[in-house]
A and B are shown apart, each in its own frame.
Chain A
Amino acid sequence: MSDAERPTEGGTGDDFEPIQVFPEAEEMDLRPGADNCYKCSTCDTNCPVAEVDDEFPGPKFQGPEQWRLKRQDDHDVDDSVMKCSNCMRCDSACPSDVPLSQMHNTARGEYVDERMDTFSREYVRNRILANYRRLAPLGSMFPRTTNFVMGLSATQWLGEKLLGITSEREFPSFATETFREWWDKRGGAAASRKRAQEARERRGGDATSKLRAEDPRARRDQDSSASRGGTSDRTEPKRIAYFHGCYSNYNTPEVAKSLVRVYEHFGYEIVVPDQHCSGTPMFANGMIDDARRSAETNVRELAAALEDGADIVASCSSCSMSLRQEYPELFDLAGIEDVAANTWDAVEYLRVHEDLEAELEGSTVEDDLSFAYHAPCHARNQGLDGQTIELLSRIDGVEAHDVGDSCSGISGTYGWKAENYDTSMKIGAEMFEHMADANADTGLTECPTCSMQMEHGTGYEITHTLEVLDAALVGTETEGRTQ
């Protein structure tokens, strides 16, 4: 383990016990929200689980009906809440603003706390899956050994028998060097500051301003950019705090490295604050206490970065979703609203703060590429569903086909559970078919678990949008792509 990692791996967050000013999230009263429901069932027609699994009563029951029952008498939370995959599709469907996913998260937390036996196989398994970040460092200490052992069919068989983790899937392999190790070796924030400054000087005069002048839209914007602060001053330091999450640290550091290169290309210096898991897998497993502990560290560190003038960006759509929506819905921590309001999806941020489209216009990649793109549910919920296709269409030689709006079916840890595997693959069937029809070279998405499902269901290799932007904007310009 490198020095750079120690602070986050150590106990700083875990034994940090803030004063509880507000009541526990589990005691949150969502019953009034249930009254907004006018029973239109729009949520039910959007639920991917209810479509393939008879046993699941659907979001309307899970949310407003259950909360209404709870008001009438002290009704226990129904165990079917554990079948909800937390895709949050119902949330963005409801025309009446019923806080469905908040209801599900809270009910799940209550169910796990009150009704689940902490010695049960299911609880232990869920806790392990939810706390991937705690195991990942072990895996990445000896990545080759771990990858070998996890790939053994005996291990997978044991996983299924002992823990109920499906043996149908292959465990994601660990990178031989984590992102944070790479970042540290590269010189951390100091090196980034230097590179960013160089980029700003390089960009200061010509390259982009010429591009912008050619685009009437860009011109229109430049006229008024003073009013927004916007991109007017090209030599001012610009800073972002990167929330990389677990997966791009331990498993796909290429994504994180691409983010670094793309942001530095635009003249941003990057800081990489200490961080824990975003909490997404914990919400989905009703481990609200674990999630709160992680949130305490994340909010503290990210709020400090905001103080230092950085905006927060994330490369994983579930991480940004969690920081933006679930944090303020579920926890009351100092600075949490501020963190939520200043967290961005990494691509969206550039879209709004730079003229990313103009910059991509006419750029090229080494070899022509076609992608089968799946928008993750959690990106959809943030209004990011069309973004990738819009941007990639600007790059010469890149073709991206949207494979439709169905859910991939894996929903984080959900599809890893032996009892959900079939449901997960049934939900994914539509996406698999559309991916096959797209006849592309590579699959594309912004969610790590969607990418596992896409690969598993189709055999496509999967990449991340930031990697494509990196190839188009930076290419081999400064750092070797192998780094």
Chain B
Amino acid sequence: MAIEDDVLVIGGGLAGATAALAAADQGGRVRLVSAKQSTLRHASGLIDVLGYTPSGEGPLSDPFAAIPDLPRGHPYERVGPDAVHEALDFFDAIAGDAYAGAGTESNALVMTFGGTVKPTARYPTATAAGLASDDRDALLVGFETLPDFDAPLSAAHLESAGVPFAVRGVTVRFPGLARDDAKLTRYAHLLDRDERVSAAGGSGAREALAATVEPHVAGASRVGFPAVLGDERADEVRADLADRLGAEVFEVPMGPPSLPGVRLEELLYDALSDAGVRVTTGVPVVDYEPDAEGAGRIDRVVVDRNGTDVPHRADQYVLATGGLVGKGVRSDRERVFEPIFDCHVPHPADRYDWFVDDAFGDQPYAKFGLPVDRDLRPLDATGDPEFANLRAAGAIVGGYDFAAEKSGAGVSLATGSVAGRGAGAEVNDR
């Protein structure tokens, strides 16, 4: 027999986790199967809804004002503006104190590690004191061993971008690290556990770091660090540093790998466990079997557990396996395809039309994904649903370019909650 559930969500990124939570909200038994870790570990941890329009206008201060004008086929057009609102409310309830910006419609402007300012809808509390709209003077602190964040350069960029506050940058050595390429988790662990660091006469990592930074504060009322300030006890680490420095402390979101992304992942997986969602990770779905009676339904999917095929069956399925990065959509020399159900992925026949020469141009491949109906059912080449009991969510859905629009997390939340709610409701109807 198969492992049985009401709703099976395939893919454990932001879209899949949201879909599973929304489905569980409807009362059914939900399982989430995810092969590998998701792009949350690359992403900044910011929840972008829409920073720029598809034609590049922005930064937008009110993303909702722009949603009605999005082209047909864009995921927000598919689910409608109300669903985007509801999805953010849903996220706010899950995230609780861990995120700021709850209940607001407009974008906040957050300082990034490159010294630019980015429009985003929700941001980790750890980043809250780092808004670019705030007029308090700021000090940015970089570490010699984390060259991706060049604090003096970022500060200079911010000043020339005309932010409404004075900002300086300084580079220091992180106390007590033996190697130059220590992992981010090592920094976080030292601060989380306040481990003794030999370099500074046996004091704890927090005290040693504060002592190193303190001489540079010079009146700044907020101090920004790269996002490595703790993991399980991040709030405590920030509060402790703030206390010692006499200034507010915030984290500047970094590029991949990203601890705020890891923390968001932890938050979502805790919520899944609280909601009773059954989670299976480390193994991929590799195939499916259609319902014997035809009717265009999926009967079961096959999970490959290190070589053994294990059937999993549910009434409703949600496909949230990500885009080209998450491996939900793949390409070879001939074609672009969706590997589990072979859902239709529209793309030009000639692979030289997949890209344009200008690296910063409007890349066709960035929008590759599944076309869906308003229930988020993937559509075949003739515009009919591929399967009656399959919905899609997240980066696997086509019709948008999340990197250009700054809409990655927002689309995953909106499509994830609509697909999950739809799947859960349909189970109840049966």
Contacts and interface: CB of A to CB of B under 8 A. Distances in A.
Are A and B bound to each other?
Answer: yes
B178 A54 contact: yes
A230 B311 CA distance: 11
Interface stretch (A44-52, A134-142, A443-451): A44-52
Contacts of B309: 341
A381 B307 CA distance: 12
Given A42-B41, A45-B262, A385-B281, A430 B232 contact: yes
Contacts of B188: 51
Contact of A352 (B178, B280, B299, B311): B311
B267 interface: no
A225 B1 contact: yes
Interface in B300-345: 303, 305-311, 313, 325-327
A93 B36 contact: yes
B382 to A, nearest CB: 30
A52 B189 contact: yes
Interface stretch (A24-32, A163-171, A216-224, A263-271): A216-224
A95 B278 contact: no
Contacts, number: 141
Interface string A326-355: 001000000001001111100010011111
Contact of B37 (A93, A341, A385): A93
Contacts of B257: 40-42, 44-45
Contacts of B305: 324, 348, 382-384
Nearest to A89: B282
B395 interface: no
Interface in B338-379: none
A39 to B, nearest CB: 9
Contacts of B189: 51-52
B186 A51 contact: yes
Given A92-B281, A227-B292, A40 B185 contact: no
B2 interface: yes
B183 interface: yes
B42 interface: yes
Interface in B1-28: 1-4
A381 B183 contact: no
A56 to B, nearest CB: 9
B306 to A, nearest CB: 4
| Size band of the interface chain A makes with B | 35 or more
Which residue among A41, A61, A94, A354 has the maximum number of chain B CB atoms within 10 Å of its CB? A41
A259 to B, nearest CB: 18
B283 A95 contact: no
Contacts of A57: 179, 181
A383 B282 contact: yes
Contacts of A97: 36
A99 to B, nearest CB: 13
Contact of B41 (A40, A228, A384, A429): A40
Chain A CB within 10 Å, residue with most, of B33, B303, B308, B327: B308
User: Which residue of A51, A340, A385 has the most chain B CB atoms within 10 A of its CB atom?
Assistant: A51
A321 interface: yes
A231 interface: yes
B2 A55 contact: no
B295 to A, nearest CB: 14
Given A352-B310, A383-B303, A41 B36 contact: no
A51 B177 CA distance: 12
Interface in A386-442: 386-387, 390, 402, 405, 429-430
Contact of A40 (B1, B2, B177, B256): B256
A385 B279 contact: yes
A353 B262 CA distance: 36
Contacts of A93: 36-37
Nearest to A341: B307
A327 to B, nearest CB: 9
B36 A95 contact: yes
A380 interface: yes
Nearest to B314: A217
Contacts of B42: 40, 42
Interface residues of B, number: 50
B368 to A, nearest CB: 18
Interface in A177-200: none
B231 to A, nearest CB: 9
Contacts of B1: 221, 225, 228, 230-231, 352-355
Contact of B273 (A95, A348, A352, A402): A402
B193 interface: yes
A36 to B, nearest CB: 11
Contacts of B112: none
B272 to A, nearest CB: 10
B65 interface: no
B48 to A, nearest CB: 19
A381 B355 CA distance: 37
Report whether over half of chain A's contact residues are helix, strand or loop; otherwise say mixed. helix
B279 A45 contact: no
A40 B299 CA distance: 36
B67 interface: no
A224 B184 CA distance: 50
B33 A383 contact: yes
A224 B1 CA distance: 9
Contact of A321 (B181, B306, B311): B306
Given A220-B4, A324-B306, A383-B305, A51 B185 contact: yes
Nearest to A58: B183
Contact of A221 (B2, B262, B269): B2
B307 A325 contact: yes
A42 B255 CA distance: 12
B232 A95 contact: no
A324 B309 CA distance: 12
B39 A95 contact: yes
A464 B223 CA distance: 49
Given A40-B256, A45-B183, A341-B308, A429 B193 contact: yes
Interface in B263-306: 269, 273, 278-283, 292, 299, 303, 305-306
User: For B3, B33, B309, which residue has the most chain A Cβ atoms within 10 angstroms?
Assistant: B3
A44 B258 CA distance: 11
B283 A383 contact: yes
A324 B282 CA distance: 14
A382 B185 CA distance: 24
B306 A221 contact: no
Contact of A380 (B282, B292, B307): B282
Contacts of A41: 183, 256-257
Contacts of B4: 217, 220-221
Contacts of A340: 306-308
B93 interface: no
B381 interface: no
B182 interface: yes
Contacts of B325: 95
A426 B115 CA distance: 36
A81 to B, nearest CB: 16
A87 to B, nearest CB: 12
A387 B310 CA distance: 13
B68 to A, nearest CB: 35
Q: What 9 A-B pairs are tightest by C-beta distance, nearest first?
A: A383-B283, A54-B178, A92-B282, A324-B306, A41-B257, A51-B185, A217-B4, A50-B183, A325-B306
Given A45-B262, A55-B179, A382-B282, 9 more contacts: A41-B183, A45-B184, A46-B37, A224-B299, A343-B308, A383-B283, A383-B305, A385-B280, A386-B280
18 contacts: A42-B257, A44-B185, A51-B185, A51-B189, A54-B178, A55-B178, A55-B179, A92-B282, A95-B327, A325-B306, A325-B307, A341-B308, A343-B307, A348-B305, A352-B2, A352-B3, A352-B310, A383-B282
